[in-house]
Structure 1
């Protein structure tokens, strides 16, 4: 049981965060701070709409979550898969190590930058929150 404490604790924190965002609606102004990039430049960052997306996921509305921030929804899915793998490794007593080559990190950076640029252009308005 001790081996499972860390992944279970991380999931408890994630569930608590989603529970809080599910209870305190980010669509109502004044509950959460405004994105600094959006406030000062009027541009959407890759995380803009992420809280609204988490709120929609917490309420089971995947379509609204995708509309708020599709990349965040993909991130939630990746987290879920990695968490299951982590639990599987922990249950077997094997440490889990995620190593990625620099090209993967560069690819993630390019994906985030591309997502940010496209969602701020007129033809990418469907990706805007």
Structure 2
């Protein structure tokens, strides 16, 4: 069997989007890891928190990323438990995307896309509400 000219180059070209997303995420995490969100003036206030005084599902995400960049897992979990727990899911989905791109095939998951979106949306909404209730204060950043 002989190699098809240009086939390897096509695979690497198809990996451009997944690798670009990985590079952008790594660059963002590196930036947050070096520019502390605990010091005022480095990042803007969450607009939802500023307007309502309530935490949105993303509140604490910068501090979680900062703590992860410094290897402090427990502290990272305490800043935004939902995003922390979804990181492995995101990594898994990125791996599926990269593998499918390499093969030139569509991404396939065992869950249907509607089921996955419903689960994610439901999880975000429950987390959003619970972290703002008195008994859910442990989930606040």
From the CA coordinates, give the structure whose radius of gyration is larger: 2
2:20 is matched with 9
Q: TM-score, normalised by structure 2?
A: 0.82
Report the 3-state secondary structure (helix = DSSP H, G, I; strand = E; otherwise coil) of the residue aligned with 1:28: coil
Is structure 2 residue 45 aligned with structure 1 residue 34?
Answer: yes
Select the residue among 52, 55, 67 that pairs with 2:63. Answer: 52
2:120 is matched with 108
Alpha-carbon deviations, 1:53-109, whole Å to 9, x = none?
1111122221111100011112322211111111222222323267512x5434433
Q: TM-score, normalised by structure 1?
A: 0.89
Does 71-80 or 15-24 show the bigger shift? 71-80
Aligned length: 128
TM superposition shift of 1:41: 1.6
2:32 is matched with 21
Report the 3-state secondary structure (helix = DSSP H, G, I; strand = E; otherwise coil) of the residue aligned with 1:85: helix
Alpha-carbon deviations, 1:8-65, whole Å to 9, x = none?
1110000001011111111111110101121122111111001111111122221111
Distance in 2 (CA, whole Å) between partners of 1:51 and 1:27 is 9
In structure 1, list runs of 5 or more residues that go unmatched: none
In structure 2, list runs of 5 or more residues that go unmatched: 1-11
* CA RMSD across the alignment: 1.7
1:126 is matched with 138
CA change 1:35–1:107 in 2 (3 A) is same
1:63 is matched with 74
